[in-house]
Every structure is written in structure tokens, then in C-alpha cells.
A and B are shown apart, each in its own frame.
Chain A
Amino acid sequence: MSHGTSRVRIAVDAMGGDNAPGEIIHGAVMAARDGATDIILVGQQDVVLKHLAAEGASQDLVKIVHADEVIREGEAPALAIRQKRHSSIVVGTRLLRSGEADAFISAGSSGAVAAAAATYLGMVEGMERPTVGGGFSSFAPNIVVMDLGANVDCKPHQLVSFAIAGTVYARTVYGVQNPTVGILSTGSEEGKGNDLVKSAYPMLQASGLNFIGNIEGNDILMGKANVIVCDGFVGNVLLKFYESIGDRARVWLMGKYPSISRLVGFLFDKVLPIKKLSYEGEEEGSGLLWGIDGVVRIAHGACHAEHILHGINGARKAIEVDLVGNLKREIAHLKEQGKLQQGGLS
């Protein structure tokens, strides 16, 4: 936070995302006008100024930090952050490192944001890789699934670190004091699953977390565990399938029963929670990058201004409740108990 005040300074990647820069700058301007946060727009200055003028926003409303380059979707993340050191993602991340900003949010390449954050901010000790997690809205309150796609190939001890982050998430965001942890598998009995699950199982048992064993796909929405860990490949497939169910069910029902299509539309729009099946993050449209030694949020590439506003508010809350500090304390606590070495983390 800026010296002498309690105002949080949030850097926003103006150039990242399918709807950038217009929607991103619009969301950032809304946040700046709310007055609770100091906004720093990071991007090509002439482009940012043009959009600010279109918003009718004075240049005093936000600070602009110029960044020449843009990392595009599809570029190899690790290489891109080396080759485009003047990109909005790298420049924005480095503002946190230099203490000029308290948080960074980007709707740009998720891989590049994660790579830049890990490289320039570093990981919390005990966390090897950044992870993205979140709840599945509507049917299953108080659950968090980690990882949702940041790490498609995982080592067993990484699942333990996801479980720790998920535990802090459930405690901080949902207020569950002793969250249960399950590992997603193909059967409930120990010994079921692939090599990754079978290797991670004893590590989770020894971790000191409230591990309850394997969780099957049909257990997720039953809320059998508060924290469900899986590799990012499985988590991302699960998330996108889940997000598609509401819309597909609505279309199917309206086609199957055309005579009551208006009723179906009404039910889905106004009554049933199924319409809103989506990844929640802590705020809709974006999520915290867990494990980074700093507050960095990744927004959906297709996000709109409201999502950026929510993301900025989410970043401010993460700072106010000291989410990163909570994660460090949880890891330190488990280490004190001598559990993490048994759990595969050093």
C-alpha cells in the first residue's frame, strides 16, 4: 500500500484479453471512479490515452505506465516473458516487485502471467508452481477445486501444495475452519486412480491437512470435501464441462418441449441456479494466482469491464485479508509440526 495512506494500488494490464483495451480500461475506470483503489494502467500509452478520452476520464483519475509490447495468446509463455521484457505483463508484474503497486490483474495469456509472476515475484516457500483454484457456483457451496488449468502436468508433491492453498482458500473465503481435503480419483478406495493420485495419496495423508481420501466425480457437487485437488488437465476439463451444462440443458429442454419454451426460459433465467453454473474464483471472472509471493489475479480472456471491476475489488480484498500471508503462515504451521517433509514438500 502507498506510504502514509491505506489506499491499495492495483496495476491493470490494459492490453491483455480478447476485449482489450476497451473493456479492460472501462472496468479500470469504473474502479477508479469508485474511489476505493488507486489504478495504474499498464500498456501502450497512446492507446490507453485514446480510450481514457473516450471514457471521458481525466488523466488524473488513473496513472499510466507505458509498456511497448504485448504478449499474444499462443506465444510460449516462458520464452515470451524473456523476449518481451517491455510487455504489459512483464512491466505490470515488475511494478509489484519494485513496490510501485500492491497487486496486478491481467486478462492476457494466463501462462505468461503465471510465468512472469513466478519469475519476478517468486514463489511462497513450499509452493513450487502457481496454481489457480476456485469454487463451482450454485450447487456446491464451500468447495474449491485446485488446480483448474495452470499446471497440466503435475508431480505428486505439487498436489500437496495445491491442497494447502485450497485449505487457506476455504478457510479465508468460505470461513470453513478445518476444511476437508479430497483427491479426485476414479474410485473412493485407497489405491484407485492413476500413478499421480496413488503417489500423492500417502503424501496428503502425512501432510497434517484434514485429508479424507479419494473423491469421485459424483462426490464433488455433494460437497464431500471442501478442497478437491487434481492436476490442471483434469481440473480444466472438469471446469469447462461444468460451465457448459446450464446452457446446454436450457437449449435441450427448449427444443424438447417447444410448447413450454417460455416457461423453461423463465425457470432458467429467474429460478434455477443452473443458469449460473460457472467457475466462481473468489469473484466472478477472475481468480487469484495462488503460491506467488504477491497478489496477482488472472481474468478470463473473454472478460468484460464488470469482471475487471470485480477482479480489482477481489485483489483489494486479498490484500486487506492478507491472503498471501495466510498461505505463508499455514505452510509455516505445517512445517513446525514436521509434516511437510513427510508430505513431500521441503
Chain B
Amino acid sequence: MSVEEQVKDIVAKIAHIDKSIMSREATFKEMKADSLDIVQALVAIEEQFDIEIPDEEAQKFRNFGDFVSYVEQEVAKKG
């Protein structure tokens, strides 16, 4: 399963979001994910991929695609 699919699964489960609306362009607001959903998802993804997502990076995510790209990049760095 791709990183994007795994991230999608985690966010969908935590925030109770229908995966069909989770496009890369969708903002968290459009997906109706609130701040607690986002924090829960960040922690779950850090643990799943054994990476760290600094808050200053997380605050730059404009949409779901930015989030996925960052995770993909960190996972690739780990080899």
C-alpha cells in the first residue's frame, strides 16, 4: 500500500472522514477535520512511519496533499 493510501486510512479512521472526499487539494477544513483530529493524525502517522513532523512544518500544510508529500519525503529519506 502506498504512503498516500496509508496516510489516508489513518486520517479517515481518526477523523471519521469518507475517503472519497480526501483529495490532495482538499483542506482539513473542507474535510471537517478539527484541531484534535489533526493532532491525533500527526501522532499516529509519526508512530506508523517512525518519523517526526515538527509543528513548524505541520503549520505549513495548506491541504491534505502537502501533508502527504511531507510524509512521503520523510519516509523516502529513511530509505
Please list the residues of chain A having a beta carbon within 8 angstroms of any beta carbon in chain B. Answer: 76-79, 81-83, 115, 118-120, 128-129, 346
Contacts and interface: CB of A to CB of B under 8 A. Distances in A.
B36 A77 contact: yes
Interface stretch (B1-9, B39-47, B61-69): B39-47
Contacts of B16: 128, 346
Contacts of B58: 82
A118 B40 contact: yes
Contacts of B55: 79, 82-83
A304 B73 CA distance: 50
Given A81-B39, A119-B36, A129-B36, 13 more contacts: A77-B35, A77-B36, A78-B34, A78-B38, A79-B35, A79-B39, A79-B55, A82-B39, A82-B58, A115-B36, A118-B36, A119-B40, A120-B43
Contacts of B38: 78
B46 to A, nearest CB: 10
Contacts of A77: 35-36
Contacts of B43: 119-120
Contacts of B39: 78-79, 81-82, 115, 119
Nearest to A153: B34
A129 B36 CA distance: 9
Contacts of A81: 39
Which 8 pairs from chain A and chain B are nearest by CB?
A78-B35, A78-B39, A78-B36, A119-B40, A119-B43, A115-B36, A82-B55, A82-B39
B3 to A, nearest CB: 21
Contacts of A120: 43
Interface residues of B, number: 11
Query: Looking at A78, A81, A128, A129, which has the most chain B CB atoms within 10 Å of its CB?
Result: A78
B56 to A, nearest CB: 10
Nearest to A77: B36
A132 to B, nearest CB: 15
Contacts of A118: 36, 40
A200 B42 CA distance: 30
A81 B42 CA distance: 12
A119 B58 CA distance: 16
Contacts of A78: 34-36, 38-39
Contacts of B42: 82
23 contacts: A77-B35, A77-B36, A78-B34, A78-B35, A78-B36, A78-B39, A79-B35, A79-B39, A79-B55, A82-B39, A82-B42, A82-B55, A82-B58, A83-B55, A115-B36, A115-B39, A118-B40, A119-B36, A119-B39, A119-B40, A119-B43, A129-B36, A346-B16
Interface string B13-51: 000100000000000000000111011101100000000
A120 B43 CA distance: 8
Query: Looking at B34, B35, B58, which has the most chain A CB atoms within 10 Å of its CB?
Result: B35
Nearest to B53: A82
A316 B30 CA distance: 42
A118 B38 CA distance: 12
A163 B16 CA distance: 19
Nearest to A111: B36
Query: Looking at A77, A118, A120, A346, which has the most chain B CB atoms within 10 Å of its CB?
Result: A118
Contacts of B36: 77-78, 115, 118-119, 129
A115 B14 CA distance: 13
